[in-house]
Amino acid sequence: MHARSALFDVYGDHLRTRGHRAAVADLVRLLDPIGIAAPAVRTAISRMVAQGWLEPATVDGARGYAATPQAIRRLEESADRIYRRREERWDGCWQLLLLDPFPSRAVRAAVLRDLPFLGYAALDDKLWVSPWVRTELAETLARAGATATTARALDFDPPDSPVRAWDLEAIGAQYAAWLDDAASSVAAHLAAHEDRDEAAFAARFHLVHEWRKFLFTDPGLPSQLLPPDWPGRRATDYFRREADRLSRASQAFVARTLTP
C-alpha cells in the first residue's frame, strides 16, 4: 500500500467529521498499524502539498495538514461512490466528452489516468462517454491542462454501443476475485493485532482501500445496463456488511489516537 493512497483514505474515511485535518504526529500514529513508516508518511504529505491536495494547518497547537477545497470535493465524491450512498436514477442520457488535441504527453497521461476515475471510458481516442454527470470533470481537465467539448446523447445505434466501452466481463471477474479474498484478508488483519480496536481499524482500512480501487475501473453503470447476475452486487453487499461491522471498534481506535 502506498503512503499517498493511504493518506487519501485517512482524510476521506476518518477525518471527514474532524475538519479534514490532523497533526503530522497523529497521521503517523494512524498509519503505523497499516505498516507505513513515518518517513514514508512525511514524504507523501510533501508530495500531496505540492499537488494541491493538502495545505499546512495548526491542529491543537501542533504542526499538521488540512485537505484543500479541491481535495475535499474529491473525497466527498469518492465517499459517495465507495459506500454507494446515493441511489442515482439514470435518465437514459449519455454524457459525451470530445477531447481537444493534447498539448503534451504529460497532459495526455494525466487525462488518461483521471478520466477513468470519474467513470468515463473511451469510445475512441478522442471521444469518451459516461452515464453520469460528474461535477469534478471541469476541475479535473483544468488541473491536467486539457480542454474538451461536452454533449449529451439519448440515442445510439446500436443501443448498447456505449456499454461496450467498458470490459464488463473483466470488471465482473475482478469483483468475484475480490469477494473470494476479502473474508480471509479481514480475518488475517484481525489476527495480526492484539488490541481489538487497532485490529478492527487495520482490517477495515485494508478492506476500504482495496474496495476503493474499483473507482478506477467500475463507473457504476445503471442497474438496467448490467447483467442480472452481476458480481458487483454480491461484492457490494459483503463490503457494506463488513465495513459496518468493523466501524465501531475502528472509530474507537481513531478517537483515542487523535485525542490529545
Tens-place pLDDT, residues 206-224: 999 999 889 888 888 888 8
Closest CA to 201 of 259, 248, 258: 248
Look up the CATH number of the domain holding residue 60. 1.10.10.10
Average pLDDT over residues 122-145: 88
Are the CB atoms for 100 and 148 separated by under 8 Å? yes
Structural domain includes residue 43:
yes
What b/e readout covers 16-55, taking b as 16+ CB neighbours within 10 angstroms? eeeebbbbbebbbbbbebbebeeebbeebbeebeeeebbe
Span of 8-22, 77-91, 144-158, 183-197 with lowest mean pLDDT: 77-91
Asked if residue 216 and residue 178 are part of one domain, the reply reads yes
Are 188 and 247 contained in the same domain? yes
Identify whether residues 112 and 70 lie together within a single domain.
no
The verdict on residue 212 lying in a domain is yes
Question: Do 147 and 171 share a domain, yes or no?
Answer: no
Compute φ and ψ for 105, nearest 5 degrees. Answer: -65, -35
Q: Are 56 and 136 contained in the same domain?
A: no
pTM of the model: 0.84
Looking at the structure, do residues 181 and 247 belong to the same domain, yes or no? yes
Tell me, yes or no, whether 83 lies in a domain.
no
- Kindly state whether residues 68 and 9 are assigned to the same domain: yes
pLDDT of residue 260: 61
Of the listed ranges 1-15, 73-87, 168-182, 210-224, the least confidently predicted one is 73-87
Q: How confident is the model at residue 161 (pLDDT cuts 50, 70, 90)?
A: confident
Instruction: Give the separation between CA 107 and CA 101, rounded to whole angstroms.
Output: 10
Together in a domain, 210 and 252: yes
Domain that residue 14 falls in: 3-74
Average pLDDT, the chain: 89
How many domains are there within the chain? 3
Does residue 158 lie in a domain region?
Answer: no
Say if residue 242 is in the same domain as residue 195: yes
Is 104 part of any domain?
Answer: yes
Residue 189 scores a pLDDT above 80:
yes
Residue 56 lies in a domain: yes
42-94 confidence digits (pLDDT tens): 999 999 999 899 999 998 888 999 999 989 988 888 887 787 656 678 888 89
